[in-house]
Amino acid sequence: MKGFSKLLKKDLILILNNYFLYVTLFFAIFFILLVNFVIPEDTSIEQSVYVLSEYEEGNKLIDYFKEQELSIRTLDSREELMQYMVNDFNSIGFILVDNQNVEYVLQGYENEKTKNLLALNIENMFQEFTNQIDIKTTYLVENNTVQKIPFNKSIVPLFLVMEPALIGLFLIATMVFSEKEEGTIKAYAVTPGRMSSFLVSKVVLLIILGFISLFLVALTTVGTKANYLYLAAITLTGSIMGSGIGLLLSSFFDNISKSMIWIIIIAMVLSLPFASYFAPNFSPALIKSIPSYSMMFAYKEALFPTGNSSIIGNTCILTFIIGIVTLILANLNIKRSL
Amino acid sequence: MIKVNGLYHSYSNDDNYAVKNASFQIEKGEIFGFLGPSGAGKSTAQKILTGLLIMQQGDYTIDGKFVDFKKRDYFNKIGVSFEHPNVYKKLTGLENLEFHSGMYDVKTEDPMNLLRMVGLEEAAGKKASDYSKGMLQRLVFARAMINNPEIWFLDEPTSGLDPTTASRIKDIIKRKKEDGTTVFLTTHNMYIADELCDKVAFINEGEINIIDTPKNLKLKYGKKLVTVEYYDNDRIVNNTFSIVDEAERTKLNEIINKGNIATMHSQEATLEQIFIKVTGRGLE
Ligand SMILES: Nc1ncnc2c1ncn2[C@@H]1O[C@H](COP(=O)(O)OP(=O)(O)OP(=O)(O)O)[C@@H](O)[C@H]1O
Ligand SMILES: [Mg+2]
């Protein structure tokens, strides 16, 4: 244990002298500023709705819509309505002809589905207004604590995945390569210290860095609403995985340039799931099987809890297993290319 | 006593051997030198005995027991000084030694004492990246003493050092020997081998040609020599002749008779001259 604390102390001194650490910290701070001050909370593009009533009763209906907090704009003539809509590509319009008939004015690019949906919606509102019937809406996600995640906060999980799984992986790999190039790993290999302790020290180092960056980013962006126990668990196992892969990679080569192609491939594979995060429909099974995919959603769940904690448990188990397996392989392999 | 028998090593895992059928033994408290030119296989042999390279073929026993590199206890007993100064450049000299001393299960030397021994006490708090080549060399040397090793592996311990520092290092090695440390030393410097070693192995192209004490080698091979510099058709020629050998003495006589001699002196054979006789090549 005495030996291990010396190893860790050495690694801490080395990392404090590594410019890579400062790049990482700089990114974390840059990211925090970006989320809090640059990216808007809501970037969904609102569709404008233009309405024209051609009969007296219709204006009451429009007032009712407005009470429902619908952002609609009332106009005075068909010409005016057409003019506004031509200038605003992302808009729809409807004209209340009389209490039997409603005319829709569409841009022409809307598909059948959208049209039907629109028709149904407005029909609903009419009925609601005239008959005062309650229309009950049932959402599939039944939990009523579901809140809408502001857009700027919704990218925090991506950053948290990048930290241990991507940046940390390379940080650890560069540290091992630097020990190989300086030959210090050879000096260590002729002491009674074991290679496994050498490797585990790097893992612990990455866990410490992962925690620092996690708390820094999570506290300043999401605040205290997040579940920090879960966050810590994902970061812990994610760091074990990240360092395991980094150590395994560096055990195969004697310098970083020989390993470059693999570093790039691993980086690309691990960041593929980011695409699915923004386009949830794009998630083929292959991408779902990449561990950063489930890490992403586990972080999301821990940051914005919905009660679906099974994804967190599964992710921790998955990344922990990958981490341990890669570490065991790294330990078997590292002596081959000191 | 250290016994090495039939040691081979091929980096390419074929019959292109960097070390070939090397066998030798080292008594306790002896300084054993591997003398040979660059690429002879000296460092390769040291790396095998320190577990950095896999023992592909051969036996290595200490006091009759096979050395098991997997048992880390062997490494409590050995100290290794490398030919390249492999220290943490981002750490100070003192931090380097402190880190290293933490790896041993046995009692270790005070790092500051060691730095003082090699003349680095002033530089103890400086980062190793600010050290000169010679200072790094001394730091690596000091590090190899930290666990008071029973067996000391020194790869070119004085190469690149100025004469004063080199003699300081040599004194430390002599003192350690007196304390009973067994030393395995590699060098391509015949003076070091001559001055320090109890026994010298000549190694060339991976093979040991001869093992003996420097004194015996000189008795056997190094008969009195005369080095003559003379003019031969306006060209200056440098030649060494043995005054014991009949044919060489005749040649020397001819040159003297011609009277074109620039300089002439007699000397005892150096280990390098003997090395050339035995292996057919020089040490450089
Ligand atoms: N890592 C390696 N991979 C392949 N070949 C190697 C390696 N290290 C050394 N060799 C080869 O093995 C032979 C012996 O090298 P070694 O380093 O043992 O020589 P040496 O006697 O220590 O030389 P020097 O005096 O220059 O240090 C050389 O032909 C060298 O090219
Ligand atoms: Mg060498």
- The predicted model scores a pTM of 0.80
Q: Which of B78, B86, B103 sits opposite A193 (nearest CB)?
A: B103
Using 50, 70 and 90 to split pLDDT, how confident is the model at B5? very high
Greatest Cα-to-Cα distance within chain A, rounded to the nearest angstrom: 95
**B4 part of contact set with chain A, CB < 8 Å:** no
Chain A hits for B98, CB-CB cut-off 8 Å, are 6
- Confirm if B199 and B212 have CB atoms less than 8 A apart: yes
Which residue ranges have their beta carbon within 6 Å of ligand 1? B 11, 18, 36, 38-44, 83, 188
- A269 phi and psi, to 5 degrees? -60, -45
pLDDT, one tens digit per residue, over B191-237 is 899 999 999 999 999 999 999 998 888 877 766 778 888 888 888 88
pLDDT, one tens digit per residue, over A140-173 is 544 444 456 788 888 899 999 988 888 888 889 9
Cβ neighbour number for residue B150 with a 10 Å cutoff: 15
Atom 14 of ligand 1: nearest residue by CA position: B41
**A6 part of contact set with chain B, CB < 8 Å:** yes
Q: How much is the pLDDT for B87?
A: 97
Q: How much is the pLDDT for B106?
A: 94
Q: How much is the pLDDT for B42?
A: 95
What is the set of domains in chain B, with CATH numbers?
2-211 (3.40.50.300), 223-267 (no CATH)
Q: How much is the pLDDT for A327?
A: 97
Chain B hits for A183, CB-CB cut-off 8 Å, are 82, 84, 86
Contact B51 A189 (CB under 8 A): yes
Q: How much is the pLDDT for A111?
A: 66
Contact A7 B76 (CB under 8 A): no
| Whether pLDDT at A114 is above 70 | no
Tell me how far the alpha carbon of residue B57 lies from the centroid of ligand 1, in angstroms.
Answer: 18
Chain B hits for A13, CB-CB cut-off 8 Å, are 90-91, 95
Q: How much is the pLDDT for A46?
A: 60
**Percentage with pLDDT > 70 across chain B:** 99
- Which range in A20-29, B2-11, B208-217 is most confidently predicted, on average pLDDT? B2-11
**B88 part of contact set with chain A, CB < 8 Å:** yes
Cβ neighbour number for residue B148 with a 10 Å cutoff: 17
CA atoms within 13 A on the CB side of B78: 29
- The predicted model gives B51-57 an average pLDDT of 92
- The predicted model gives B81-96 an average pLDDT of 95
Q: How much is the pLDDT for A131?
A: 64
- Confirm if A238 and A164 have CB atoms less than 8 A apart: yes
Q: What letters, b where the CB count within 10 A reaches 16 and e where it falls short, cover A282-312?
A: eeeeebeebbbbbbbbbbbbbbbeeeeeebb
Residue in chain A nearest B74 by alpha carbon: A192
Tell me how far the alpha carbon of residue B43 lies from the centroid of ligand 1, in angstroms.
Answer: 7
Q: Which of B89, B99, B105 sits opposite A10 (nearest CB)?
A: B99
Cβ neighbour number for residue A151 with a 10 Å cutoff: 14
Tell me how far the alpha carbon of residue B156 lies from the centroid of ligand 2, in angstroms.
Answer: 7
Q: How much is the pLDDT for A88?
A: 78
Classify strands B78-81 and A91-96 as parallel, antiparallel or unpaired. Answer: unpaired
Atom 30 of ligand 1: nearest residue by CA position: B39
Atom 2 of ligand 1: nearest residue by CA position: B11
Closest approach of chain A CAs to the CA of B47, in angstroms?
10
List, in order, residues 6 or more apart from B126 with CB less than 8 Å away: B92, B93
- A267 phi and psi, to 5 degrees? -60, -40
Q: Which residues pair with B200 in a beta bridge?
A: B33, B212
| Whether pLDDT at A5 is above 70 | yes
**Percentage with pLDDT > 90 across chain B:** 68
Token pair of B132 as six digits: 């000169």
Looking from the CA of residue B34, the nearest atom of ligand 1 is: 21
**A188 part of contact set with chain B, CB < 8 Å:** yes
Q: Which ligand is nearest to the CA of A338?
A: 1
Q: What is the DSSP string of A120-182?
A: HHHHHHHHHHHH-PPPP---SS--TT--PPPHHHHTHHHHHHIIIIIIHHHHHHHHHHHHHHH
Which residue is listed with tokens 């100290």?
Answer: B79
Comparing B268 with B184, the larger pLDDT belongs to B184
Contact A14 B99 (CB under 8 A): no
- Confirm if B203 and B34 have CB atoms less than 8 A apart: yes
Contact A192 B87 (CB under 8 A): no
Q: How much is the pLDDT for A43?
A: 58
| Whether pLDDT at B147 is above 60 | yes
- Confirm if A60 and A69 have CB atoms less than 8 A apart: no
- The predicted model gives B70-93 an average pLDDT of 94
* A155-169, A295-309, B167-181, B257-271: segment of lowest average pLDDT: B257-271
List, in order, residues 6 or more apart from A196 with CB less than 8 Å away: A331
Closest approach of chain A CAs to the CA of B247, in angstroms?
53
Comparing B100 with A278, the larger pLDDT belongs to B100
Q: How much is the pLDDT for B223?
A: 67
**B75 part of contact set with chain A, CB < 8 Å:** yes
Using 50, 70 and 90 to split pLDDT, how confident is the model at A45? low
Q: Which of B73, B80, B102 sits opposite A190 (nearest CB)?
A: B80
Give the number of beta-carbon pairs within 8 Å between A and B: 69
Mutate to test the interface with B, among A4, A190, A197 (most CBs of B within 10 A): A190
| Whether pLDDT at A42 is above 70 | no
pLDDT, one tens digit per residue, over A282-322 is 778 888 899 999 999 999 999 998 888 899 999 999 999 99
* C-alpha dihedral sign at B270, B274, B276, B277: positive
- The predicted model gives A54-60 an average pLDDT of 80
Comparing A238 with B240, the larger pLDDT belongs to A238
Residue of B143, B149, B78 lying closest to B113 (CA atoms): B143
| Whether pLDDT at B165 is above 60 | yes
Residue in chain A nearest B129 by alpha carbon: A182
| Whether pLDDT at B241 is above 90 | no
Q: How much is the pLDDT for A145?
A: 44
Q: How much is the pLDDT for B123?
A: 96
What is the set of domains in chain A, with CATH numbers?
2-40+150-337 (no CATH), 48-131 (3.40.50)
Q: How much is the pLDDT for A144?
A: 43
> Mean pLDDT for chain A?
84
pLDDT, one tens digit per residue, over B20-51 is 999 999 999 999 999 999 999 999 999 999 99
Tell me how far the alpha carbon of residue B155 lies from the centroid of ligand 2, in angstroms.
Answer: 7
